[in-house]
Structure 1
Amino acid sequence: MATTDRQATTLALAHALSAAERGLAVIPLSRTKLPALRSPHREDPAPARPPCHGACGRFGHGVYDASTDPVRIRELFAAAPRATGYGIACGLPPYRLIGVDLDTKTGTDSAAALRALARRHRFVLPATVVVLTPSGGRHLWLSGPPDVVVPNSAGRLAPGIDIRGAGGYLVGPGSRTDHGTYATAPGTAHLPPAPCPPPLLRLLLPPPRTPRRPLPPDTERHGHGLIQFVLGAREGQRNTRLFWAACRAYENGIGPALHAALLDAARTTGLPEHEARATLTSAAHLTGHHP
């Protein structure tokens, strides 16, 4: 490894240990901002692959490896000698961190969109930790209440605003990536993560689940697989899976009856309702139907 990489790993470890002293659980990250340790189950046959989140005792479970224990953190970094950054796990005590990621790569003014939301829903963004990203974006650190689980989302609040909640992580300040270094905004490094304003917290939570409407027997039998296909979508494939399932439903003559169930499934995966409705409409039109 090059000397500069060794120095970057040493600095990343130092920053990670400093974050852990503040009660923030951390993991080592690579230059691509991904967890630096590969899954120990990558060689397991897919059908037999266990749903393991670290119960096996080995490293390589992403955010589930996160720790505030300095001994464990040093072990994690020793196992990841090419790490140049660290991730901070969200949703864990004591802060139950919520990250508001204001992105600039979409070409939208995400900061202005957040201010507009604050005006519309009558909340004030508190003084809190702000991390500047190499692309010109910002991460706002907020803390959540102990009885609420905030999910991860992308663009659900507004274009360019992503949320890092339970099961997610934020790139910690001091991390070096392929695109530059993350740094704390002047005057915010000493601040604790401020409590999330209640009106904003309500916007971050998923809408309450509506009771599933019963489907006709034939639709239930043929549509179950399509609904499960949509529910299995990960971020980045939700629209594609929904569109494919909706096209199959309309081609099989059950599109109208399955519309509400597909919409519910898409919302469950985190797809914004307006996007899901637009995708369902596109599938109907493509197959010669009118939703």
Structure 2
Amino acid sequence: MATIDRHVTTLALAHALSAAERGLAVIPLSRTKLPALPSPHRADPAPALCRGECGRFGHGVYDASSDPGRIRELFAAAPWATGYGIACGLPPYHLIGVDLDTKSGTDSSAALRELALRHLFTIPDTVVVITPSGGRHVWLSGPPDIVVPNSAGRLAPGIDIRGAGGYLVGPGSRTDHGVYSTAPGTAHLPVAPCPPALLRLITPPPRPHHPTPLSTGQHGQGLVQFVLAAHEGQRNTRLFWAACRAYENGIGDELATPLVEAAIHTGLTEREARATVASAARLTGHRP
């Protein structure tokens, strides 16, 4: 049995090195499809968040590498490995995996075709990996400046997305359920770019930046009190800072007079105070 396992590990290493030749970063996997190396922090009483900074193996996808020497070290540390995972989201491909599952009781391939028709995109010719259960992993390349998150069933039932921080089981891997293999005619295809319409579906829209609105009640009063607490030598500085915060948060116009009045109370002249507030308005892109 040991000889068979050693042979399987050697074969998995060979497939992993082949993937690395294409620029893909890999890690060894066990028969359960999980990273083969356990966390070095599992016995720590209060494990800290570590992504490999400690220099030891066992950080899952953060161990992934395309360097042949490091890959051999990873597999030497995990002689029970029977497969390998390919990290998504890393250069040069910024790999995105569209996982079409067959275990959900739905036709995920049909669901993807329906999405393609509805949103007017076509899945290009690319690498496709067939899973032991008959599912498919479609490999796509993403842009370097967009982070695609992992998701399960969000796009449609039975369709999972593997993105940054995730991994795909590489072809040639052996698991408890069978062997992963490339679909005929796709092994040597380049990883095709993800269609823009699909990319929009799998990428959450950027959160609009809305500065926390200040009210002229509690928060606005806090800025006024900040100015009132100024001592000689810091009155202009405090007023300028408070006015900038007010304009950045959309209440500069309505808070300008209370701030000026507070500054006058500390000893500034009205002319000095109004000039300082006007400077803050200009700096923050507002017309005083």
Is 2:94 the partner of 1:96?
yes
Q: Tell me the residue number matched to 1:248.
A: none
Distance apart, 1:207 and its partner CA? 3.3
1-side partners of 2:212 and 2:123: how far apart?
39
CA shift, 1:3, in A, is 1.6
Q: Which residue of 2 aligns with 1:81?
A: 79
Q: Output the amino acid matched with 1:18.
A: S
* Structure 1 runs (4+) greater than 2 angstroms displaced: 207-214
Gaps of 5+ in 1: 215-291
TM-score (norm 2): 0.72
| 1:40-189 to 2 correspondences below 5 Å | 40-46=40-46, 49-189=47-187
Cα root mean square deviation, aligned: 1.4
Secondary structure at the counterpart of residue 200 of structure 1:
helix
Structure 2 partner of 1:270: none
- Count of aligned positions: 212
Post-superposition Cα deviations, 1:74-110, rounded to whole Å, max 9, x if no partner, equal 0000000000000000000000000000000001000
Deviations 1:217-270 (A, max 9, x none): xxxxxxxxxxxxxxxxxxxxxxxxxxxxxxxxxxxxxxxxxxxxxxxxxxxxxx
In the TM superposition, residue 213 of structure 1 has moved relative to its aligned partner by: 9.1
Aligned residue number for residue 200 of structure 1: 198
What is the CA distance between 1:208 and its match in structure 2? Answer: 3.6
The equivalent residue for 1:191 is 189
Give the Cα–Cα distance (whole angstroms) in 2 for the partners of residues 103 and 3 of structure 1: 33
Deviation at 1:212, TM superposition (A): 9.9
What secondary structure is seen at the aligned counterpart in 2 of 1:131? Answer: strand
Structure 2 stretches lacking a partner, 5+ long:
214-288
Name the counterpart of 1:283.
Answer: none
Report the alpha carbon displacement of residue 209 of structure 1 after superposing the two structures with TM: 3.1
Question: Does the residue aligned with 2:5 lie in a helix, a strand or coil?
Answer: helix
From the CA coordinates, give the structure whose radius of gyration is larger: 2
Shift of residue 167, structure 1, vs aligned partner = 0.3
Percent sequence identity over matched residues? 83
- Hey, what does 1:38 align to over in structure 2? 38
